[in-house]
């Protein structure tokens, strides 16, 4: 189905954007230090953009991590449970995750809208509209909730076995 | 609600969700929603939680976490780390237990170059283990040193975990990174001495065989070509901080850049290596930072509900000696480490531990090193130490977790001894950071 294929590519594309943004801040920091130490004026936006990328890369990769079981979870106790009970507990956990993330997606969007209405500004090394951070959170939480919903609809449970920690 | 009820709801609820397999980050978010709803005024509390989440990771102090990861992943995927091992291998010659010593020597250097214990253990396990088995080393002489040096990455700078601990506990990140250097090197020496003692006690544990003896010129060439240039990476990270030329964040960026430059110089910078490194970095970085996003309000709720002050008053009510309090904190870390990852342990314990550290006049940087050592130990304490599982994963079929855990015991003893030494002589950790300050 085309919309689903588009959605799959979107989740992976976001993760790629997250990785690219980390590479870009590495370069930005180096350029900043070199400029500062060679008598040039460093860019004013560097530290603000670097700080925003930290949240962007996290929220952009978070839905992909749900898909790849990359968020760390304690599986040892679940493994001790009999299979039917483990499945049941796993389903309950997935539903609880959807509710939690859905609620946070909604509240982040609501607070973000208030920020738009009040034209609030986040003052860092440059001024950035405050809604930007809330939009990242709302989008990230919402897509994570969708990924858990995808697990639920497929009858799968979250295992956390793909964690790279 | 009484403080102990609040503490039980928050801490007990969190552990309950975690044990049922909810991802740690989401378990923190879920219990925080319950907490803010009860203690911080309903929906307004949830909005406050969201506001806190926006500032949780948008901090310049946390930037070294992904940058150190990029560095370690690139070293691993471009094959630069293996070159260091091959060069060191030539230096050891036919010494008995050569590969065990090589594990400690190479592992310490790799720990100085990368920030990840898991990458360290996996790399040492997959590269050295097959050769050691083929040569007839007893399993404990293989797994013990690999597990031990895997944990060194946590203390020897650059350590992602030290950056996280520093920024979460409001300890000077640069000072904490540097403070781990001398204790880390002492620990590496203790590991080498342990191997020597194990071979003395059981000469059959490591085979005596005539390794191919490299000529002096070959050794010099290997060191100059493969090991010496790595000094650039060490200088970029540790040197720039020591000299006060760059902040930890900036030095981390230079560290990553120096690995890219070296890999290009050696002709090893392939597109595949870069893609795999960035994928590995994103996986670990986003997983860690998501836990911070999730857990950021946890300490506030503990404070707001009175649970923090109640717990601290309870702990200090016994009027125990400061070192008994330290021992209690150490034991809590070890016990939690048996089933929980390091970051979750930090987020759970720091709101209680840091006020106690202030109350008992412990130096926060010194305490940070002790905490890192406890967290390192927790990686190898049975039954659920994460490195034990990594080791089983890279070991031959039939290796049980019990075998791996037994192999780790002498090295766990070394770490405990180091904690004791640091308690008696705190200056071992504090001298270098003090030098930078002055």
- Interface probe for B, chosen from A45, A58, A70, A112 (most Cβ of B below 10 Å), is A58
Q: Which residues pair with A128 in a beta bridge?
A: A122
- CB distance from B291 to chain A under 8 Å? yes
pLDDT for the residue B167:
86
CA distance A80 to chain B (A): 11
Structure tokens at B422: 């640091």
- Cβ density class B409-418: b for 16+ within 10 Å, e for less: ebbbebbeeb
- CB distance from A49 to chain B under 8 Å? no
CB contacts, 8 Å: B282 with chain A = 15, 18-19, 22, 57, 61
Structure tokens at B386: 């994460």
CB contacts, 8 Å: A15 with chain B = 282
- CB distance from A75 to chain B under 8 Å? yes
Closest Cβ–Cβ partner in B50, B284, B340 for A108: B50
Q: Comparing B366 with B40, which gets the higher pLDDT? A: B366
Structure tokens at B37: 């709803």
Q: Which residues pair with A123 in a beta bridge?
A: A127
Q: Summarize pLDDT for B154-182 with one digit per residue, the tens.
A: 888 878 888 889 988 989 888 998 999 99
pLDDT for the residue B126:
72
The 3-state DSSP class for residue B94 equals coil
> Residue B429: is its pLDDT beyond 50?
yes
Closest Cβ–Cβ partner in A26, A47, A159 for B253: A26
Helix axes of B322-337 and B401-424: crossing angle, nearest 10 degrees: 160
Nearest to B148 by CA among B101, B201, B182: B101
Q: If you average pLDDT over residues B132-147, what whole number do you get?
A: 85
CA distance A41 to chain B (A): 17
In sequence order, the 6+-apart residues with CB closer than 8 A to the CB of B179 are B365, B366, B368, B369, B429, B430, B432, B433
> Residue B115: is its pLDDT beyond 60?
no
- Cβ density class A125-159: b for 16+ within 10 Å, e for less: beebebbbbbbbbbbbbbbbbbbbbbbbeeeebbe
CB contacts, 8 Å: B21 with chain A = 73-75, 77-78, 89-90, 93, 157-160
Structure tokens at A109: 């969007």
* CA distance linking residue B162 with residue B151, whole number of Å: 13
pLDDT for the residue A112:
97
Closest Cβ–Cβ partner in B18, B278, B279 for A74: B18
pLDDT per position in chain A (165 positions), as tens? 788 899 999 999 999 999 999 999 999 999 998 898 888 988 999 999 999 999 999 999 999 999 999 898 887 788 888 989 999 999 999 999 999 999 999 999 999 999 999 999 998 889 999 999 999 999 999 999 999 999 999 999 998 776 543
Measured CA to CA in angstroms, residue B267 lies from B114, B235, B274 at distances of 20, 22, 13
Kindly write down the DSSP assignment for every residue of B103-115, as one continuous string: HHHHHHHHHHH--
Kindly write down the DSSP assignment for every residue of B345-388, as one continuous string: HHHHHHHHHHHHHHHTT--HHHHHHHHHHHHHHHTTSTTT-HHH
- CB distance from B24 to chain A under 8 Å? yes
Contact between chains at B18 and A73 (C-beta distance less than 8 A): yes
Phi, psi (rounded to 5 degrees) for B219: -65, -50
List the single residue in A with minimal CA-CA distance to B340.
A74
* CA distance linking residue A108 with residue B47, whole number of Å: 7
Q: Summarize pLDDT for B35-51 with one digit per residue, the tens.
A: 999 998 889 999 999 99
- DSSP state, A121? E
């Amino acid at each position: 189905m085309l919309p689903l294929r588009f959605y799959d590519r979107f989740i992976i594309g976001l993760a790629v954007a997250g990785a690219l943004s980390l590479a870009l801040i590495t370069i930005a920091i180096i350029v900043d230090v070199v400029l500062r130490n060679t008598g040039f004026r460093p860019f004013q936006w560097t530290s603000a953009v670097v700080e925003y990328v930290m949240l962007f890369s996290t929220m952009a990769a978070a839905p992909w991590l749900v898909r790849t079981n990359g968020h760390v979870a304690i599986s040892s106790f679940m493994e001790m449970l009999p299979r039917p009970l483990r499945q049941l507990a796993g389903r309950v956990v997935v539903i609880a995750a959807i509710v939690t993330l859905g609620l946070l997606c909604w509240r982040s969007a609501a607070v973000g809208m208030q920020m738009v209405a009040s034209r609030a500004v986040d003052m860092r090394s440059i001024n950035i509209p405050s809604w930007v951070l809330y939009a990242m959170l709302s989008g990230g939480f919402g897509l994570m909730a969708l990924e858990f919903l995808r697990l639920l609809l497929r009858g799968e449970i979250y295992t956390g076995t793909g964690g790279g920690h | 609600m009484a403080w102990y009820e609040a503490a039980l709801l928050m801490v007990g609820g969190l552990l309950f969700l975690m044990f049922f397999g909810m991802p740690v980050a989401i378990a923190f978010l879920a219990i925080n929603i319950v907490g803010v709803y009860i203690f911080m005024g309903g929906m307004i509390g949830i909005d406050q939680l969201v506001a806190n989440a926006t500032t949780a990771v948008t901090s310049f102090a946390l930037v070294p976490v992904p940058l150190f990861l990029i560095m370690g992943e690139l070293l691993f995927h471009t094959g630069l780390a293996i070159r260091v091992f091959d060069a060191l291998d030539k230096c050891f010659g036919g010494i008995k237990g050569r590969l065990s010593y090589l594990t400690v020597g190479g592992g310490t250097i790799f720990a100085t170059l990368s920030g990840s214990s898991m990458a360290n253990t996996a790399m040492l396990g997959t590269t050295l283990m097959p050769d050691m088995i083929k040569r007839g080393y007893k399993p404990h002489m293989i797994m013990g040193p690999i597990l031990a040096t895997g944990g060194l990455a946590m203390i020897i700078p650059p350590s992602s975990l030290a950056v996280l601990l520093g920024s979460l506990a409001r300890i000077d990140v640069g000072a904490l990174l540097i403070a781990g250097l001398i204790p880390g090197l002492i620990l590496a020496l203790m590991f080498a001495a342990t191997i020597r003692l194990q071979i003395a006690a059981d000469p059959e544990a490591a085979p005596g065989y005539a390794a191919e003896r490299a000529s002096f010129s070959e050794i010099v060439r290997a060191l100059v070509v493969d090991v010496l240039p790595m000094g650039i990476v060490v200088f970029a990270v540790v040197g720039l901080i020591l000299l006060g030329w760059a902040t930890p964040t900036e030095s981390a960026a230079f560290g990553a850049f120096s690995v890219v430059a070296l890999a290009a110089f050696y002709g090893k910078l392939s597109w595949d290596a870069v893609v795999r490194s960035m994928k590995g970095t994103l996986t670990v970085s986003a997983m860690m930072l998501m836990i911070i996003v999730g857990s950021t309000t946890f300490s506030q709720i503990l404070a707001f509900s009175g649970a923090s002050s109640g717990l601290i008053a309870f702990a200090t009510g016994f009027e125990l000696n400061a070192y008994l309090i330290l021992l209690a904190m150490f034991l809590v870390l070890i016990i939690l480490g048996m089933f929980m990852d390091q970051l979750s342990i930090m987020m759970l314990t720091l709101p209680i531990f840091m006020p106690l550290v202030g109350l008992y006049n412990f130096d926060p940087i010194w305490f940070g090193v002790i905490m890192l050592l406890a967290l390192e130990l927790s990686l190898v304490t049975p039954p659920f130490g994460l490195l034990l599982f990594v080791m089983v994963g890279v070991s031959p079929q039939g290796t049980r977790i019990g075998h791996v855990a037994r192999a780790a015991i002498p090295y766990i003893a070394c770490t405990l001894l180091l904690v004791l030494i640091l308690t008696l002589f705190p200056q071992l950790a504090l001298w270098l950071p003090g030098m930078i300050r002055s």
